[in-house]
Amino acid sequence: SLQVERMKRFSGGWTFQGNYTWSKSLGEEDGDGSALGANYRTLRNRGMDKKLLSYHRSHVWRSNALWEFPFGPGKRFAGAGGGWTARLIEGWQMGAIFNVFSGEPIGAGAVGAFNNFGGNTPMAVAPFDNSTGVAERTNNGVVYFSGLSQVPDPSIANITTLQGIRGRSTMLAIADASGRLLLVNPEPGQLGTLAPRFLEGPGSFRLDLNLIKRIRISESKELHLRADAINFTNSPQFGNPDANINSLNFGRISGAGGSRIVVVGMRLNF
């Protein structure tokens, strides 16, 4: 990983701290239990299950800042004022927390054409970028792979027509906007060539703000008025899309969080 931090200690009425992390977390499986050995698709080549771990995030930016408004006695503006006017304009403070995260790793699913525990992946038959996908709102919900489409898997042609078996196949493949095949289901006895957790889900960001007004009542008493806005921009935190190439919901995002929350409070310090 690479970690960079910038900090400005409190002076001139404001302070700032921000850090950026670029990282890559690789492994064969999350955790350390002995049962994890059963999760390999094949013990003949355990390296095939080397993948991004579930807590991997390529990019993480975290920052926070605090600013005291420069108004009132002893401040840059209206410093010589007094009385109720000074009480009204002094003691204001604003804080902010701003975080940006890359999406978590997700894996594309396919049929199990090999006798294995699970974690089946498709065959990549053309170059396929791991950054494919962006959350887009449409009239029919939120989709992630808008440039891709599902088509019948070409291997259906190899299924027998006896008793209508071929017609019952629900195998699908993924094609790009030009109709070129990108991902197909493995043939019987094959393991998918696409790495597990190859794709990256939707990223997210959040801005939290607060505003505080301090009112000194006496030498030992002070009243605090405070307003906090969690997720000030009301930006949705989209869940991961369905990434199974055979699913009728392929590419659809069915969950999201991140509602704006505003809290107003008052506190007396004595």
Q: How far is CA 203 from the centre of its chain?
A: 3
* Average pLDDT, integer, range 56-83: 83
User: What is the CA 36 to chain-centroid distance, rounded?
Assistant: 26
Q: Pick the closest to residue 30 from 9, 12, 52, 48 (CA basis).
A: 52
Global pTM exceeds 0.85: no
d(CA 130, CA 141): 23
pLDDT digits (tens, 9 = 90+) for 139-197: 889 999 988 999 999 999 998 899 989 999 999 999 999 999 999 999 988 888 898 89
In angstroms, the first-to-last Cα distance of the chain is: 47
Mean pLDDT value across the chain = 88
Rounded to whole angstroms, the Cα distance separating 254 from 252 reads: 6
Confirm if 205 and 100 have CB atoms less than 8 A apart: yes
Residue 36 has pLDDT above 70, yes or no: no
Query: Contact at 8 Å (CB) between 29 and 81?
Result: no
Strand blocks (E) in 102-203? 105-106, 123-124, 136-138, 141-143, 149-152, 172-175, 181-184, 199-200
In the chain, how long is the greatest CA-to-CA distance?
95
